[in-house]
Amino acid sequence: MRSRPAMVNDLPCSSMKSALKILVNAIVLGVVVSTLTLPAYLSADVSHEANRAIRSGDFKKAASLLRESANDGDPEAQYRLATLYRDGRGLNQSEPKALFWLKRAASQGHARSCFTLADWLERGRGTKIDLAAARTHFECAERGGDGRATDRLKSLDAHGGSGWAASDGDRKSALVRGVRGGNVSLVRQSLAAGASPNTRDSHGATVLLLAAERDSGEVAELLLEAGAQTDSIDPSGRTALMIAAGRGHAEIAERLLAHGAEINTQGPGGRTALMIGARKGQEKIVKAFVRAGATTGLKDSSGRTALDIAREAKSPKVEKFLLQIGGQSRAAGAESAQENRSWIQEITTRDRGLYKAWPPIVAAAWRNLESDVQQLLQGQPDLEARDPENFTALSRAAWQGNTSIVEWLLQSGALPDSSVGENWTALGIAAREGHATVVTLLLKSGASSEFEQGDGGTPLVWATRAGQFEAAIALIRQGAKTNASDSKGRSVAEWAARRGDGQLLSELTRIGGEVPSHSQLLAAACEAAAKKNVSSGLEELIDIGVPAETRCSDGGTLLTNATRQGSLEAVTLLLQNGASPNTPTARGNSSLHLAAHQGRLDVARILLESGADPNIRGEDRQTPIMMAANEGRNSLVLLLVQRGANVDLRDSEGRSARSLAKHGGYDSVLKTLDLEVSSGNAFLDLF
């Protein structure tokens, strides 16, 4: 078995040494080394590969790598997988799944997981507020050395465990938080401190509407007693009574009626709360509405009464009740016309098992069935109908980036700002997915660019987080505020820097928007240089002042990062702007070393033409030709010989390019080297 040559990859590779060190320490301390040592070592390798995937923007690969270790019980992998779910990077954004992995990691005492889980429990993010559990997990984080946890525990103590921490801001934010989490004590305290019962959240919904969505009867009663307006509407035009009807929250509905809620208000599509209850088959709620004076003969924008809607929704109990009380139906002619269009409901029969619970219009939009969508629209379907995941046809079409379907739905009256999924709008989804044309179409149709999406952040923030440059620019040019930030306070500019998006940073500079700090710009350039082309904006970053000789946090330079990716365009750009081809990485290797090792012939050629030293020493005192010979890169060896490489130089272990090629069995390289006449360098030059 041949010995392994010295490592030349500039990425950290000391995990074996770390594992041996752990083993030695364990033996010295008399600790029994369990079989868990091996997974810990393997986990380090997986973490290393995941880091590389994340740096290259391949979040799907990172998620796949992390999931394997997470399933094996690695708490760090579990935490990082949770953050990918939280941020929707490489995976569909999901707070429940993020919470699942946070809990698993926290159960092992992982400090950052304990802190994040405690924060979520205190604030009611992705789960109900549980201050006792939050305290337990903050204590776990504190034991793990997280200084933030100490401050949060003090804050909990200072506020008597009420959950209204100083970090929550003013009374308004505390009230919204309390309503969302069903925290009766916090709601009562906020109202007593002067918060308005008609406070609206960042989506434009009043706290009473939030209570109706969450079926918080006691919270709703507190708000109503404090003077909440019973008939306030959300951005889509729904009242709290309509929301309660749609969600089957009978207790909320009865409390609203007791406080004088208007029963016959018509909302989106001309539907009343009674119609919504009928469509959902909510017999108890329908009966309560009728007792409260609901008019059964009102018609929606399609000419349907509550009885018609109950029939179409196949709600026999509601239909029977409405018939018993003399509920009216539409005219016979209209009934016949609707029956003649009943075939439309069977349009999406393909894969019926997958979509049987989906409204046909939503399924057709999601599957890009354009002709089916057009036919369904002829029947004037309910465009606010939701699939099992709470998405409308418009939001599904926006997700797919189908401009035609989005346009038809908007023309047919679809509401552009309806809240779907878990606090998303169609615009937020289109921005996150990078569908710039759909983004522009929605904005021109009146969609708001300021609604907070998901776990925090406007559509522009999400577009930037996802690296969707064109969507971000479309938002900016339609007036989106560039000073927006996510729930962690990270701004559009900071996310652009993290993504290495020089084009977006340049645009922000041009329009006078927020510009990140100098260090963030340098980090952005390092990220951009590590991509395979310069379309990410490296040129723009240099144009706004980032030095071409910038050194990155991984120990490399912009030029070595670009060389490692084999990006001839980026390498050329950096050399033209003054980058030195001989500046080494922290491990001592120049760009030419990396090009030689990786077989980047075109990159090596331009480096040599720009003054790269063919005999420069690198890690283990190896020269570029040694690295090329060791890897069997005959074309590189020939190029280096032609450009003056000394084939007789030796590395720190006494190996020459020829001995390395011979050791590797690279006959073609040996032939090339044997043709070269000895350089005749002095003996001291050999070492």
Phi, psi for residue 256 in degrees, rounded to 5: -65, -45
What are the tens digits of pLDDT across the range 15-52? 444 443 443 343 333 333 332 222 333 355 666 777 77
In this prediction, residue 634 carries a pLDDT of: 94
Percentage of the chain exceeding pLDDT 90:
32
How many secondary structure helices (H) and strands (E) does the chain include? 40, 0
What are the tens digits of pLDDT across the range 250-266? 889 999 998 888 999 98
98, 248, 344 from 283: Cα distances, Å:
36, 9, 27
In this prediction, residue 339 carries a pLDDT of: 38
Question: What does the pLDDT average to over 651-676?
Answer: 90
Which ranges of 182-206 would DSSP assign to H, the alpha helix?
184-192
Cβ pair 458, 450 in contact under 8 A: yes
Cβ pair 476, 493 in contact under 8 A: no
Domains in the chain with CATH codes: 15-166 (1.25.40.10), 172-345 (1.25.40.20), 346-483 (1.25.40.20), 491-579 (1.25.40.20)
Residue 270 — pLDDT band, cuts 50, 70, 90?
Answer: confident
Question: Of 11, 70, 25, whose CA–CA distance to 46 is shortest?
Answer: 70
In this prediction, residue 597 carries a pLDDT of: 92
In this prediction, residue 687 carries a pLDDT of: 35
Distance CA 561, CA 570 (A): 9
In the predicted structure, residue 512 carries a pLDDT above the cut 60: no
Question: Of 528, 589, 586, whose CA–CA distance to 562 is shortest?
Answer: 528
CB atoms within 10 A of CB 576: 12
What are the tens digits of pLDDT across the range 192-240? 777 899 998 877 789 999 998 887 888 999 899 888 999 888 877 889 9
User: Is 0.95 topped by the overall pTM?
Assistant: no
Among the ranges given (47-56, 345-354, 415-424, 553-562), the one the predictor scored with the smallest mean pLDDT:
345-354
Please give the mean pLDDT across all residues of the chain: 80
Which amino acid is located at 75 in the chain?
Answer: P
Cβ pair 289, 255 in contact under 8 A: no
Task: Record the tokens describing residue 528, joined without a space.
Answer: 């951009």
Residue 129 — pLDDT band, cuts 50, 70, 90?
Answer: low
Distance CA 80, CA 98 (A): 9
Question: What does the pLDDT average to over 659-679?
Answer: 83
What are the tens digits of pLDDT across the range 89-124? 888 888 888 898 999 999 999 999 999 998 888 766
26, 189, 330, 628, 679 from 645: Cα distances, Å:
48, 78, 91, 11, 9
Distance CA 601, CA 640 (A): 10
Residue 332 — pLDDT band, cuts 50, 70, 90?
Answer: very low
